[in-house]
């Protein structure tokens, strides 16, 4: 039977990249926003789910990781279906099928237009479909959309088994298969242009870096308010993307250390939406769970600890161990 679930304002229903994606949701009341990155320009897009609409359908039916964050923005009630329950409901209600097909069709047209724009910028030649198909696969691979990349490279090898990119396509297929089980190597340091046009690595001795490490030093000394002010200055300056991301995480830590648990939850929720691939994502979830626990919201804390264990299955990871211990102490193991 479908389950009725309640979410508070700011609660995360699921995250982009989450592999435990067997549930489909129906919004009954409240407000849910879906946030994801535009494949054309990398900007964050926010879509509102309307009352009576399903969400989380594609990843659940396709059995691939979630493609977006789903966050409640007020007191919200949803119905959660497992795939078999949804299929049974849809099979007896053609209106649901037609509504979902309309949504999927609009999404597909939008994605196709974005891909066409990308390929046009990169010198797309409509008279060379072989190269165009391979380019689409490479684009998905570069953006770590591994299931889509695998499908495209598979189609390429089917249509052009002796094509000029066949060897590369086969090699990339192997990369996508490995990436389904293991994380890709960490991305290179963010690079930015200096005032004289030179590329500068993210780790440097710039004034921003010094300000960041001074702020971290304040944290180690227990001077959380001073660190909070310094870190916000780095974020507001917008001079270095790498240190903006690092500072955003440390701001959340400061809020937690200052016992500002509501603000901590709100801050990290926004951070997760803005930086869905942040290297400290697991730790951010842990602080959200700890904040809920300190607010007496045991059930919400358990939800976040379980999310950490599902997203970071490596038992050697410190955040996995912390989440497991916290979950056990609450009787949720």
Q: Is the pLDDT of residue 258 over 90?
A: yes
Strand order across the 76-82 sheet: 3-7, 76-82, 23-29, 54-55
3 state SS of 234: helix
3 state SS of 3: strand
pLDDT band with cut points at 50, 70 and 90 for residue 201: very low
**CA geometry: angle at 56 spanning 32 and 300, to 5°?**
55
Residue with the larger pLDDT of the pair 250 and 176: 250
As a whole number, mean pLDDT of residues 238-261 equals 92
Residue with the larger pLDDT of the pair 6 and 45: 6
Alpha helices in the chain (DSSP H): 57-62, 83-91, 94-121, 129-142, 146-159, 166-179, 207-220, 224-237, 241-257, 261-274, 281-294, 298-311, 318-329
Q: Is the pLDDT of residue 129 over 90?
A: no
As a whole number, mean pLDDT of residues 227-249 equals 91
What is the pLDDT at residue 15? Answer: 82
Segment of 135-144, 163-172, 183-192, 219-228 carrying the highest mean pLDDT: 219-228
What is the pLDDT at residue 194? Answer: 39
Whether the domain at 3-109 and the domain at 204-329 fall into the same CATH topology: no
Q: Is the pLDDT of residue 101 over 70?
A: no
Query: Cα separation of 25 and 38, whole Å?
Result: 23
Residue 210: C-alpha distances to residues 124, 176, 195, 201, 244 (Å): 44, 38, 18, 15, 13
Q: Is the pLDDT of residue 202 over 50?
A: no
pLDDT band with cut points at 50, 70 and 90 for residue 325: very high
pLDDT band with cut points at 50, 70 and 90 for residue 264: very high
DSSP 99-119: HHHHHHHHHHHHHHHHHHHHH
Task: Pick one of 2.60.120.10, 3.40.50.720, 2.60.60.20, 2.170.130.30 as the CATH number of 3-109.
Answer: 2.60.120.10
Q: Could you report the per-residue pLDDT of 13-23, keeping only the tens digit for each?
A: 888 777 777 89
Return the closest-CA partner of residue 101 out of 63, 46, 58, 37. Answer: 58
User: Which architecture does CATH list for 204-329?
Assistant: Alpha Horseshoe (1.25)
pLDDT band with cut points at 50, 70 and 90 for residue 185: very low
Segment of 6-15, 123-132, 170-179 carrying the highest mean pLDDT: 6-15
Domain boundaries, the chain: 3-109, 126-179, 204-329
pLDDT band with cut points at 50, 70 and 90 for residue 29: very high
């Amino acid at each position: 039977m479908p389950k009725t679930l309640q979410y508070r304002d700011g609660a995360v229903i699921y995250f982009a990249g989450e592999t435990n994606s067997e549930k489909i949701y129906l919004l009954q009341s409240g407000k849910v926003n879906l946030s994801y990155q535009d494949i054309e320009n990398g900007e964050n897009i926010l879509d509102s789910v309307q009352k009576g609409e399903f969400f989380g359908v594609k990843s659940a039916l396709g059995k691939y990781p979630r493609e977006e964050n789903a966050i409640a923005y007020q007191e919200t009630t949803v119905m959660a279906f497992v795939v078999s329950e949804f299929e049974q409901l849809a099979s007896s209600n053609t209106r649901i099928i037609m509504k979902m097909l309309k949504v999927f069709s609009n999404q597909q047209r939008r994605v196709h237009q974005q891909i066409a724009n990308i390929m046009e910028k990169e010198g797309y030649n409509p008279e060379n479909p072989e190269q165009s198909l391979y380019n689409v696969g490479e684009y998905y691979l570069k953006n770590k959309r591994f299931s889509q990349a695998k499908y495209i490279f598979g189609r390429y090898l089917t249509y052009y088994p002796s094509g000029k990119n066949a060897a590369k396509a086969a090699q990339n297929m192997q990369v996508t298969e490995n990436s389904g089980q293991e994380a890709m190597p960490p991305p290179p340091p963010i690079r930015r242009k200096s005032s004289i046009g030179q590329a500068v690595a993210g780790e440097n001795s710039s004034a921003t870096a010094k300000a960041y490490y001074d702020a971290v030093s304040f944290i180690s000394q227990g001077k959380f308010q001073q660190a909070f002010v310094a870190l916000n200055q780095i974020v507001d300056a917008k001079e270095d993307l790498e240190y903006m991301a690092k500072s955003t995480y440390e701001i959340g830590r400061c809020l937690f250390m200052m016992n500002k648990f509501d603000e901590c939850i709100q801050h990290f929720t926004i951070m997760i939406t803005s930086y869905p691939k942040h290297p400290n994502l697991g730790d951010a979830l842990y602080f959200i769970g700890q904040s809920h626990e300190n607010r007496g919201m045991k059930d919400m804390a358990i939800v976040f600890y379980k999310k950490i264990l599902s997203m970071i299955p490596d038992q050697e990871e410190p955040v996995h161990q912390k989440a497991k211990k916290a979950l056990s102490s609450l009787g949720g193991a």
